[in-house]
């Protein structure tokens, strides 16, 4: 029996099925995504969404959808579904769905008057190509299968409209056609493994609507172009594989390639396997560059997310080499001890080196890698970068990030958020946190201590002499600066004059790091504060519900969502640090709570992003999934917790 399975009564219910989305990636930046009934509800949905070298690697929706039609007994049954103006769904192919299973690959079975046909799709992990296999499972006599592609040829963040500039004339190639609608984009090559008839019937389909974009307050109507359709006759037991890619393919290879890809996919037979499969989907490799995509479908490779999520996504599946590759790629972007916002972008204004914490998260990532590689390799690859980060923060950077006389880190940009709480509304920070941020300084203390650990192992006396006094002062200053006497928790940040005592989850990071400035008793107090004020079954709230700034739901317009993102919205990634904090205090006795946290997410496997974990959740129950349908640091947090649980079982501390 399939672990991920949907029945007919669920799939024909549009209120249910349109809220559930699938995602496949090809490990080089391309992806395929739609709802479980193949009705696109986002501008980001498509069967082939890929980076294009012609546009600096920006992702484009090339193939939006393919509508299959069964012709049987002189009747046509269109199995596709699109939403148009006025809430009209046409055609209504979802009513023919019998079941959907998602084990190694998604498989939909349709039943049309005794004709049963399955549809399976894979994304090629070696090039930008989607392969869709149609198999006639049962039929009393031969049927005709028509395949009509819908093309977009546009950036993922915009919508297409019918226009006179589009090149709508296809070129005939082996077993198919190719078309390039606009200069500056690659050809889309559409072929089948068996020779079809191609019926040239060019047409625009107007005002297809994407309900998720409408709900999110964005433009939501699009015109898609179809050049015509492919047609082939099939008997019971026969199949055909449709290929759409940016390169032509030898038609004799199409079916064989589909089989090879399908056999190599992770079988999602349980919760853990779903997480392991999801972990691999964020890795993007191109030539000598390896990036970690922060989330799907709209995120790029954000530096901070990469540093936080990479250890959990790689070490949990024994993929040390990929972590090395990601960190090696990132180091090439390190400048004066700081990383840019994005690792796959240029040095534009939106990609400046201004983050106060990302470089310290990098050191924390290397710290976790240390037990998986030799000391010699660590020194060769990462010690110069660690020295650069520490020395530049010690001296101070151009962006007002500097160590003060109290050996703590101060960030002082006026209108730019320099921590992970970086939401902007009308170009103004929602949570500026200018001054001394609690997690930044916990990471700073941890980084200094880790530097001393390495220096002692390699006998670097000069480093030890310089940094031991800083470590001692930083620890004392941290407590003096952030500990709130009588309340027994940590201030979220401090200005030069006062403590800002808003109850936020950032304090848990100070209790969780390998080198913590807190005593065990102080850790217990911080844990209790976070547990009683912020902990939910889907993560930690970003502010206490008792606070007047608290926002219950992450929904509405872009303005509403940005206001809520760090003002109550639940973030799963923070659970990694809650878990590490309770283990640092309670050791093996923390296992029952860890298990509860971990398995609370199993129900998410058939909600929102199928087999993966969302970016955020509502602050109030029932904590509905929101944001991106698959987020790297959400998956990483759960895999980190799983590693901790396994370690406690096999080697209790």
One DSSP character per residue, 36-86 reads TTS---STT-EEEEEE-GGGTT-EEEEEEEEEEEEEETTEEEE--EEEEGG
Domains of the chain: residue spans and CATH: 5-263 (2.70.98)
pLDDT at 282 over 90: yes
DSSP 195: P
Per-residue model confidence (pLDDT) at position 446:
98
Tokens representing residue 161 in the block: 């409209």
Question: Distance between CA 420 and CA 506 in Å, rounded?
Answer: 10
Question: 388-423: per-residue pLDDT in tens?
Answer: 999 999 999 877 899 999 999 999 988 899 999 999
Question: 429-445: per-residue pLDDT in tens?
Answer: 999 999 999 999 999 99
Question: Distance between CA 187 and CA 167 in Å, rounded?
Answer: 11
Rounded to an integer, the average pLDDT of 101-105 is: 89
Rounded to an integer, the average pLDDT of 575-582 is: 98
Contact partners, residue 16, CB within 8 Å, separation at least 6: 10
pLDDT at 347 over 60: no
Rounded to an integer, the average pLDDT of 376-399 is: 94
Neighbouring CB atoms inside 10 A of 92's CB total 16
Question: Distance between CA 610 and CA 22 in Å, rounded?
Answer: 5
Q: Which of 296, 292, 325, 316 is nearest to 576 (CA)?
A: 316
Mode of pairing for the β-strands spanning 59-72 and 143-155? antiparallel
Tokens representing residue 528 in the block: 């209790």
- Torsion-angle region of 434 (φ positive above 0: left; ψ -120 to 50: alpha; else: beta): beta
Q: pLDDT band for position 267 (50/70/90)?
A: confident
Mode of pairing for the β-strands spanning 221-234 and 143-155? antiparallel
Extended strands (E) in 113-237: 115-123, 129-138, 143-155, 171-173, 176-179, 188-192, 197-209, 221-234
Tokens representing residue 624 in the block: 């509905």
Question: 195-252: per-residue pLDDT in tens?
Answer: 999 999 999 999 999 999 999 999 999 999 999 999 999 999 999 999 999 999 999 9
Look-up of token digits 């696109």: 40
Tokens representing residue 549 in the block: 């700034």
DSSP 273: H
Count of helix runs (H) and strand runs (E) in the chain: 17, 37
Per-residue model confidence (pLDDT) at position 56:
75
pLDDT at 131 over 90: yes
Q: What mean pLDDT, rounded, does the chain reach?
A: 95
First vs last Cα of the chain: how many Å apart? 38
Q: pLDDT band for position 565 (50/70/90)?
A: very high
Per-residue model confidence (pLDDT) at position 395:
94
Question: Distance between CA 176 and CA 191 in Å, rounded?
Answer: 4
Interior/surface letters 152-175, b for 16+ CB within 10 angstroms, e for the rest: bbbbbeebbeeeeebebebeeeeb
What are the beta bridge partners of residue 78? Answer: 69
Tokens representing residue 256 in the block: 């064989």
Tokens representing residue 20 in the block: 């559930």
Contact at 8 Å (CB) between 191 and 178?
no
Q: pLDDT band for position 265 (50/70/90)?
A: confident
Q: pLDDT band for position 346 (50/70/90)?
A: low
Rounded to an integer, the average pLDDT of 590-598 is: 98
Q: pLDDT band for position 653 (50/70/90)?
A: low
Q: pLDDT band for position 349 (50/70/90)?
A: low
Per-residue model confidence (pLDDT) at position 348:
58
Question: What is the secondary structure of 137-157 as a DSSP string?
Answer: EE-SS-EEEEEEEEEEEEETT
Q: What angle do CA 508, 513, 519 make, to 5 degrees?
A: 75
Q: pLDDT band for position 427 (50/70/90)?
A: confident
Contact at 8 Å (CB) between 606 and 4?
yes
What whole-number percentage of the chain has pLDDT above 90? 91
Question: 443-484: per-residue pLDDT in tens?
Answer: 999 999 999 999 999 999 999 999 999 999 999 999 999 999
Neighbouring CB atoms inside 10 A of 235's CB total 10
Burial class, 580, CB count within 10 angstroms (exposed 0-12 / middle 13-18 / buried 19+): buried
Per-residue model confidence (pLDDT) at position 350:
61
Question: What is the secondary structure of 309-335 as a DSSP string?
Answer: HHHHHHHTTT-HHHHHHHHHHHHTT-B
What are the beta bridge partners of residue 51? Answer: 59
Element (H, E) at 596: helix 591-599
Q: Which of 351, 325, 353, 361 is nearest to 337 (CA)?
A: 353
pLDDT at 516 over 70: yes
Contact at 8 Å (CB) between 419 and 433?
yes
Question: 311-330: per-residue pLDDT in tens?
Answer: 999 999 999 999 999 999 99
Question: 137-148: per-residue pLDDT in tens?
Answer: 999 999 999 999
Per-residue model confidence (pLDDT) at position 351:
66
Per-residue model confidence (pLDDT) at position 164:
94
Q: Does 246 or 2 have the greater pLDDT score?
A: 246
Rounded to an integer, the average pLDDT of 526-532 is: 98
Q: At what angle do helices 358-369 and 320-331 cross, to 10 degrees?
A: 150
**In degrees rounded to 5, what are phi and psi of residue 52?**
-120, 125
């Amino acid at each position: 029996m399939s672990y991920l399975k949907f029945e007919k009564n669920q799939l024909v219910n549009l209120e249910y099925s349109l809220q559930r989305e699938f995602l496949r990636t090809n490990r080089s930046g391309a992806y395929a995504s739609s709802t479980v009934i193949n009705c696109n509800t986002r501008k980001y949905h498509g069967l082939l969404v890929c980076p294009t070298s012609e546009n600096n690697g920006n992702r484009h929706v090339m193939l939006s959808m393919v509508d299959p039609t069964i012709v049987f007994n002189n009747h046509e049954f269109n199995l596709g579904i699109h939403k148009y103006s006025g809430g009209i769904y046409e055609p209504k192919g979802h009513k023919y769905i019998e079941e959907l299973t998602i084990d190694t690959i998604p498989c939909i079975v349709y039943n049309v008057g005794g004709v049963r046909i399955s549809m399976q799709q894979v994304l090629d992990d070696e090039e930008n190509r989607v392969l869709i296999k149609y198999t006639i499972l049962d039929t009393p006599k031969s049927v005709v299968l028509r395949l009509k592609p819908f093309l977009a040829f546009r950036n993922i963040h915009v919508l297409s409209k019918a226009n006179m500039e589009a090149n709508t004339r296809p070129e005939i190639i082996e077993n198919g056609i190719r078309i390039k609608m606009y200069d500056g984009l690659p050809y889309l090559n559409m072929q089948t493994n068996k020779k079809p008839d191609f019926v040239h019937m060019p047409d625009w389909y107007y005002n297809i609507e994407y309900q998720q974009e409408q709900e999110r307050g964005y433009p939501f109507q699009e015109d898609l172009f179809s050049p015509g359709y492919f047609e082939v006759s099939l008997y019971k037991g026969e199949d055909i594989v449709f290929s759409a890619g940016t390169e032509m393919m030898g038609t004799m290879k199409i079916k064989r390639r589909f089989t090879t890809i399908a056999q190599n996919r992770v079988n999602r037979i349980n919760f853990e396997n779903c997480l392991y499969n999801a972990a691999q989907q964020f890795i993007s490799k191109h030539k000598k560059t390896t990036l970690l995509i922060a989330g799907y479908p709209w995120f790029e490779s954000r530096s901070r997310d990469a540093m936080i999520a990479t250890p959990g996504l790689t070490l949990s599946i024994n993929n040390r080499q990929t972590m090395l590759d990601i960190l090696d790629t990132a180091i090439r972007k390190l400048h004066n001890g700081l990383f840019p916002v994005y690792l796959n972008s240029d040095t534009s204004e939106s990609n400046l080196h201004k983050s106060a914490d990302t470089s310290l998260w990098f050191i924390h990532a290397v710290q976790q890698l240390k037990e998986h590689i030799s000391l010699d390799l660590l020194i060769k690859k990462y010690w110069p970068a660690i020295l650069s980060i520490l020395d530049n923060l010690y001296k101070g950077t151009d962006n007002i990030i500097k160590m003060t006389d109290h050996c703590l880190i101060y960030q002082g940009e006026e209108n730019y958020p320099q921590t992970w709480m970086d939401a902007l509304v009308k170009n103004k920070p929602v949570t500026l946190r200018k001054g001394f941020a609690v997690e930044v300084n916990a990471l700073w203390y941890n980084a200094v201590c880790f530097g001393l650990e390495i220096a002692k192992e390699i006998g670097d006396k000069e480093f030890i002499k310089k940094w031991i006094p800083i470590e001692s002062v930083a620890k004392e200053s941290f407590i003096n600066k952030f500990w709130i006497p009588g309340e027994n928790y940590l201030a979220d940040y401090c200005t030069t004059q006062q403590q800002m005592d808003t109850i936020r989850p950032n304090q848990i990071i100070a209790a969780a790091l390998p080198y913590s400035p807190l005593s065990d008793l102080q850790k217990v107090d911080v844990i209790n504060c976070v547990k009683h004020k912020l902990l939910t079954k889907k993560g930690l709230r970003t502010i206490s519900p008792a606070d007047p700034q608290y926002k219950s739901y992450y929904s509405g317009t872009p303005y509403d969502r940005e206001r809520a993102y760090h003002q109550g919205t639940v973030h799963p990634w923070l659970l990694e640090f809650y878990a590490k904090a309770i283990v640092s205090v309670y050791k093996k006795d923390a296992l029952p709570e860890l298990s509860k946290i971990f398995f609370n997410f199993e129900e998410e496997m058939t909600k929102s992003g199928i087999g993966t974990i969302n970016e955020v959740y509502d602050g109030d129950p029932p904590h509905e999934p929101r944001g991106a349908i698959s987020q790297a640091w959400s998956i990483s947090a759960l895999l980190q917790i799983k590693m901790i649980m396994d370690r406690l079982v096999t080697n209790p501390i």
